[in-house]
Amino acid sequence: MGNKCCSRRHDPDRPLVYPAYKNEAGFTACPSSLETRYTGEPNTRVLSRPPADIVRTRNPGKCITNGGRRVVKALCAYTARADSDISFRKGDRMEVLSDAEPDWWRVLHLTTRREGLVPVNFVAEESSVECEEPSSCCSWFFPHVSRKEADKLLLAESNPRGTFLVRPAEHNPHGFSLSVKDWEEGRGYHVKHYKIKPLDNGGFYIATNQTFPSLPALVMSYTKNALGLCHVLARPCPKPEPQMWDLGPELRDKWEIPRSEIQLIRKLGQGNFGEVYYGKWRNNIEVAVKTLREGTMSTQAFLQEAAIMKKFRHKRLVALYAVCSTQEPVYIVQEYMSKGSLLEFLRNGEGKFLQFEDLVYVAAQVASGMEYLESKMLIHRDLAARNVLIGENNVAKICDFGLARVIEDNEYCPKQGSRFPVKWTAPEAIIYGRFSIKSDVWSYGILLMELFTYGQIPYPGLHGKDVIEQVERGYRMPKPVGHYLPDDIYRLMLQCWDAIPEKRPTFEFLNHYFESFTVTSEIPYREVQD
């Protein structure tokens, strides 16, 4: 294991890792306790006994030679993209040679004996020497999954009843939640959530009469006997494939790529900046390519903005992979989102059939991405359903954040443009050019209306110019007719459209609101037992 002298904040997209062993049922668990300390930052928990992956040596470029080998295990398969990285299969073991780079570690593959870089979020540190039978990690622990995401993951058809995961509790910084897929006559498949409460001595319990010295001990016990849960814990929920932030290891800093490496395969649509294509990088990796119409923005300004965008990483923001900017038209190479824009999805795609809970899930995801931008003090300026993209499983991600600022096109200008998104923009931004995170909150309120009306144009029947006048006089979009929209959510929209920007809610609040919407708190254990 690496040098323990310095720890660092856990990367929100990396799983936490604990020493582990298997029980008779072949179930992987870890003997160490999972006490937590809350740092006050969203998604940031520091374990009182830090697991291996948050106690890395931080010496740039220095090899790890502290006597013991540091071994990682693959959480899922990866195919090499360049000469410098290596392929591996799920479960393969690799020795860490250098962890100097935050995203790519140099390893020695212990089976193929090949040496090269691997993406850090595809591997997890293997057990320490205490483990009887080393394993990659507590595969049931999902450190960055919310309740709604847990529902989505567990309800996948391929998961049988009893599939489960453990995640940090949303309202108790020291507690956890156990989410289990269940089935009942008349109700079908659904997910039950149990509170796991901490004990003062470091242990955990769901029911006060069954306490455990550690979280793994608790989980393992419930894999043998349901002990009042809806079902015995049958198998850990499969983890989704980790997000890639770069096209390859050599492109982590140098992300200007040769145009010849991009194959444009089919046109996806026409956007604000130019045409958008589905394509492949090196005939291999799926990407979306935005072509920038000449004159839309200065290449220089765009590259500055893109450099900022490249630094922001969140699972609810579309990843910017690379650019081709040496010739016109400039290409912006992005993560490909298979279901296209939220607007099209709701109007003409599978989104037409979304249930109310699914719409709430999309609202929560967009608020989560915006909460991240809010925390980084970045303003989107053009938040709307057309700028949210949908992937598999109703995953929603925000795109084009920051780009509106560098558009030179007059048509996109508040004062003159016919294409300026008047209906989405807060009055102070239209009139005085005062864009802020609070003007984004206004736009989010409009996006909510688009969402709950399945893509209806805001202020139906009103022309943009009239909207500015009416809104200035205090008019607000009424509650829609013919669509289900609870009064609570409509009231929240009105708060987003408060004339005084400071009175509008924060994205942190909005995310919290939608994450816990329709949800009664976790089921008390006894209720389930009875």
Which residues carry out catalysis? Answer: 382
Helix (H) or strand (E) holding 513: helix 507-515
The count of chain residues that interact with ligand AMP, using the rule CB under 6 A, is 20
Measured from the CB atom, the residue of 400 and 515 that comes closer to ligand AMP is 400
Rounded distance between C-alpha atoms, residue 524 and residue 378, angstroms: 40
Looking at this protein, which amino acid is placed at residue 337?
M
CA-based nearest residue to 16, from 56, 58, 45:
45
Beta strands (DSSP E) in 271-345 are 275-281, 285-292, 320-324, 330-335
Distance of CA 526 to the CA centre of its chain: 33
CA-based nearest residue to 143, from 7, 22, 10:
10
User: Where in 9-38 is the site for ligand AMP (CB under 6 A)?
Assistant: none
CA-based nearest residue to 299, from 329, 271, 320, 267:
329
Quick one: which segment of 71-79, 109-117, 272-280, 302-310 binds ligand AMP (CB under 6 A)?
272-280
CA-based nearest residue to 28, from 47, 13, 10, 15:
15
Rounded distance between C-alpha atoms, residue 25 and residue 397, angstroms: 38
Measured from the CB atom, the residue of 216 and 421 that comes closer to ligand AMP is 421
Give the one residue of 204, 273, 424, 444 binding ligand AMP; rule: CB under 6 A: 273
Measured from the CB atom, the residue of 392 and 502 that comes closer to ligand AMP is 392
Give the one residue of 166, 169, 268, 471 binding ligand AMP; rule: CB under 6 A: 268
Task: Provide DSSP, 436-471.
Answer: -HHHHHHHHHHHHHHHHTTSPPSSTT--HHHHHHHH
- Distance of closest approach, residue 338 Cβ to ligand AMP, in angstroms: 7
Measured from the CB atom, the residue of 47 and 288 that comes closer to ligand AMP is 288
Q: Is 290 annotated as a binding residue?
A: yes
Give the one residue of 14, 73, 192, 290 binding ligand AMP; rule: CB under 6 A: 290
Judged by CB under 6 A, does residue 386 bind ligand AMP?
yes
Measured from the CB atom, the residue of 77 and 413 that comes closer to ligand AMP is 413
Give the one residue of 134, 228, 238, 269 binding ligand AMP; rule: CB under 6 A: 269
- Distance of closest approach, residue 405 Cβ to ligand AMP, in angstroms: 15
User: Where in 395-414 is the site for ligand AMP (CB under 6 A)?
Assistant: 399-400
- Distance of closest approach, residue 351 Cβ to ligand AMP, in angstroms: 12
User: Where in 88-127 is the site for ligand AMP (CB under 6 A)?
Assistant: none
Judged by CB under 6 A, does residue 342 bind ligand AMP?
no
Quick one: which segment of 136-144, 171-179, 271-279, 424-432 binds ligand AMP (CB under 6 A)?
271-279
Measured from the CB atom, the residue of 99 and 335 that comes closer to ligand AMP is 335
Q: Closest CB to ligand AMP belongs to which residue?
A: 271
- Distance of closest approach, residue 386 Cβ to ligand AMP, in angstroms: 6
Measured from the CB atom, the residue of 312 and 490 that comes closer to ligand AMP is 312
Judged by CB under 6 A, does residue 135 bind ligand AMP?
no
Asked if residues 322 and 254 have their Cβ atoms less than 8 Å apart, the reply is no
- Distance of closest approach, residue 397 Cβ to ligand AMP, in angstroms: 8
- Distance of closest approach, residue 424 Cβ to ligand AMP, in angstroms: 13
Measured from the CB atom, the residue of 397 and 512 that comes closer to ligand AMP is 397
Question: Residue 315 has which token pair?
Answer: 């699972």
Burial group, residue 234, by CB count within 10 angstroms (0-12, 13-18, 19+): middle
Would you call 330 helix, strand, or coil by DSSP?
A: strand
Helix (H) or strand (E) holding 204: strand 204-205
Give the one residue of 34, 74, 94, 288 binding ligand AMP; rule: CB under 6 A: 288
Measured from the CB atom, the residue of 271 and 480 that comes closer to ligand AMP is 271
Judged by CB under 6 A, does residue 276 bind ligand AMP?
yes
Q: What are phi and psi of 45, to 5 degrees?
A: -125, 140
Q: For residue 438, how many other CB atoms are within 10 A of its CB?
A: 23
Judged by CB under 6 A, does residue 195 bind ligand AMP?
no
- Distance of closest approach, residue 262 Cβ to ligand AMP, in angstroms: 14
Helix (H) or strand (E) holding 148: helix 147-154
Rounded distance between C-alpha atoms, residue 124 and residue 71, angstroms: 9
CB under 8 A, 24+ apart: contacts of 248-255: 248/81, 248/82, 248/84, 248/85, 249/81, 249/82, 249/84, 249/85, 249/103, 249/104, 249/117, 249/119, 250/82, 250/84, 251/321, 251/322, 252/101, 252/103, 252/104, 255/310, 255/321, 255/322, 255/323
Distances in Å between the Cα of 134 and the Cα atoms of 17, 52, 93, 238 are 12, 13, 11, 19
Binding mask 212-251 toward ligand AMP (x if CB under 6 A, else -) reads: ----------------------------------------
- Distance of closest approach, residue 230 Cβ to ligand AMP, in angstroms: 38
Q: Look at the block and give the residue holding tokens 């084009």.
A: 400
SS3 for 158-171 is CCCCCEEEEEECCC
- Distance of closest approach, residue 341 Cβ to ligand AMP, in angstroms: 3
Binding mask 302-341 toward ligand AMP (x if CB under 6 A, else -) reads: ----------------x---------------xxxx--xx
Give the one residue of 219, 233, 389, 404 binding ligand AMP; rule: CB under 6 A: 389
Rounded distance between C-alpha atoms, residue 280 and residue 518, angstroms: 41
Annotated binding site for ATP: 290
Contact set with ligand AMP (CB under 6 A)? 268-269, 271-273, 276, 288, 290, 318, 334-337, 340-341, 344, 386, 389, 399-400
Q: Which residues fall in the annotated binding site? A: 290
